Amino acid sequence: GEDVEQSLFLSVREGDSSVINCTYTDSSSTYLYWYKQEPGAGLQLLTYIFSNMDMKQDQRLTVLLNKKDKHLSLRIADTQTGDSAIYFCAAGGRGANNLFFGTGTRLTVIP
């Protein structure tokens, strides 16, 4: 399987930008995802990027992929208190049971 690693915690002030980082080990991973989990809820797919892309922007979210370093990041611009949640990075390919999740980064937004 693949190892996907994230830092466990991140705190930012409301209005600042948040950057959540993720590294993975399998260079053949073709799909990379960011999920958001609010307290007591399931995981919600936020955004994804294919391995042939370097960047994807979707409103306040920017995903950067450095395929050489196997590094993925999620930038949230103008972070709001509603962005407080656990963010999971996931990497993998096609087929069943071929998606591997990081441990999640708990983002705390300070008012």
Partner 1 sequence: SQTIHQWPATLVQPVGSPLSLECTVEGTSNPNLYWYRQAAGRGLQLLFYSVGIGQISSEVPQNLSASRPQDRQFILSSKKLLLSDSGFYLCAWSDHRDNYGYTFGSGTRLTVV
Give the burial class of 73: count Cβ atoms within 10 A of its Cβ; 0-12 exposed, 13-18 middle, 19 or more buried. Answer: middle
Q: Find the binding residues for partner 1 in span 46-75 (CB under 8 A).
A: 48
* Residue list 2-41, contact with partner 1 (CB under 8 A): 31, 33, 35, 40-41
Q: Is residue 104 a contact residue for partner 1 (CB under 8 A)?
A: yes
> N- to C-terminal Cα distance for the chain?
39
State which of residues 52, 59, 69, 94 lies at the interface with partner 1 (CB under 8 A).
94
By C-alpha distance, which of 30, 37, 43 is closest to 2? 30
Max CA pair span of the chain: 42
Residue closer to partner 1 by CB (options 28, 97) is 97
By the criterion CB under 8 A, which residues form the site for partner 1? 31, 33, 35, 40-45, 48, 88, 90, 92, 94-99, 101-104, 106
